[in-house]
A = this chain, B = another copy of it.
Amino acid sequence: MTDEPDEACGEAYVIRALTSPADDARVHVGPGDDAAVLADGTVLTADALVEGVHWDHRHSAEDVGARLVAVNASDVAAMGARPSWALLTLSLPVPLDRAWVDGFARGLQGALRALGIPLLGGDTTRSPLGVHASLTMAGWLVAAPLLRAGAGPDEDIWVSGTLGDAGGGFSLPDPPAPLLDALRRPAPPLDLGPALAEAGLATAAMDLSDGLATDLPRLCRASGVGAVVDPDALPISAALSSAIPDPIDLAAGFGDDYTLLFTAPPAHAARVRDLGQRLGVRLSRVGRTTRTPAVILQGRPWPAGWQHFEGAGA
């Protein structure tokens, strides 16, 4: 698991083709992290949700609207920033399904209201097949940004919340309510990133959208370290562990958790725990960074991560 997990599939190809190193005084952090950072401290991210790819019949229109806000806010928060505004592009099939639009609007606006941020505008177009929604979200930094690069060797690897619940909600034939809720309505810990940045406790961070098996190697590569993860330390919910005998592959491989992955020096462990308690966010120390570049799950192979362009490429 030391090489780029995306190399074999198309996503890495697309990103390489489209991005060039940002050599611009106005850009503090360019492409490649959870969000970009301008020289003035503005944090910027954009995420798209596509019908049939990111949601199906188990999601209501309201779920989709709320989710679009959540996944973008998760990226903003993972930089240590607080959301400030959003812009939407929405492509809809004809004839227009007004009930779906109403539900989507309720979910989107409710989630934006909860963040206290305005929708500034955007674009609506026709779609030949299925709904396509893309949101751009900005944020403002409370302190220096939390980057993927920054972890040193022999630091603690922390994860917030529980892993694999959305995966259980997706995979199980008749999932219990907490797992289905996790699939439908991801709830990223939006105060955690800013609090860690403000307190100067974390050395690197990113949100867990593609699963630990895919995202931890990304953080390690950006930081130039390796990692050893203890599978027994992965935070598993009671709902998941009672529904599946061995939930580790789902917890490490599925993604869609939208929890926070971060590293911190062992000397900060007590303060990190205190912070989690103060915010009411479960925090678990799941492993240790290493000087050797390998990213290892102790005693078992990593599960295959979800790939955006599975089967694509030459």
On A, residues with C-beta under 8 Å from B are: 10-11, 13-15, 17-20, 22, 24, 26-27, 30-33, 35-36, 38, 44-54, 84-85, 87-92, 94-96, 98, 101-102, 104-105, 108-109, 118-130, 132, 134, 136, 308-314
Asked, given contacts A10-B96, A85-B26, whether A308 binds B136 with beta carbons under 8 Å apart, the answer is: no
Of A121, A132, A314, chain B has the most CB atoms within 10 Å of the CB of A121
Are A96 and B130 interface neighbours, CB within 8 A? no
* Contact of A95 with B311 in the complex, beta carbons under 8 Å: yes
- Cα A163 to Cα B84 with chains together (Å): 39
Residues of B within 8 A of A130 (CB): 128-129
Q: B127 touching A53 by the CB < 8 A rule? A: yes
Across the interface, do A120 and B22 meet the contact criterion of CB distance under 8 Å? yes
Contacts of A121 in B (CB 8 A): 19, 30-33, 35-36, 44-46
A26 surroundings in chain B (CB, below 8 A)? 84-85, 118
7 A–B contacts, CB within 8 A, in A order:
A26-B85, A38-B120, A50-B91, A50-B126, A54-B125, A89-B89, A124-B309
CA distance A96 to B109 in the complex (A): 34
Which of B17, B46, B51 is in CB contact (< 8 Å) with A123?
B46
Q: Which residues of B contact A47 (CB under 8 A)?
A: 89, 123
Closest to A93 in B: B312
- Please give me the 8 A-B residue pairs with the lowest Cβ-Cβ distance, nearest first: A10-B96, A36-B120, A96-B312, A31-B121, A48-B89, A136-B136, A134-B134, A129-B129
Known: A13-B101, A134-B134. A118 touches B22 (CB 8 A): yes
Shortest distance from the beta carbon of A27 to any chain B beta carbon, whole Å:
5
**Given A13-B96, A18-B104, 17 more contacts at CB 8 Å?**
A18-B109, A19-B119, A19-B121, A20-B119, A38-B120, A46-B89, A46-B134, A50-B128, A50-B132, A53-B125, A54-B125, A95-B312, A95-B313, A98-B314, A126-B308, A134-B134, A136-B136
CB nearest to A112 among chain B residues: B20
- A94 B18 Cβ-Cβ under 8 A: no
| Most interface-central of A45, A85, A120, A136 (chain B CB within 10 A) | A120
* Measured CA separation A42–B88 after assembly (Å): 17
Cα separation A108 to B31 with both chains bound (whole Å): 15
How far, in whole Å, are A136 and B85 apart by their CA atoms in the complex?
13
In the bound complex, CA of A100 to CA of B6 (Å): 19
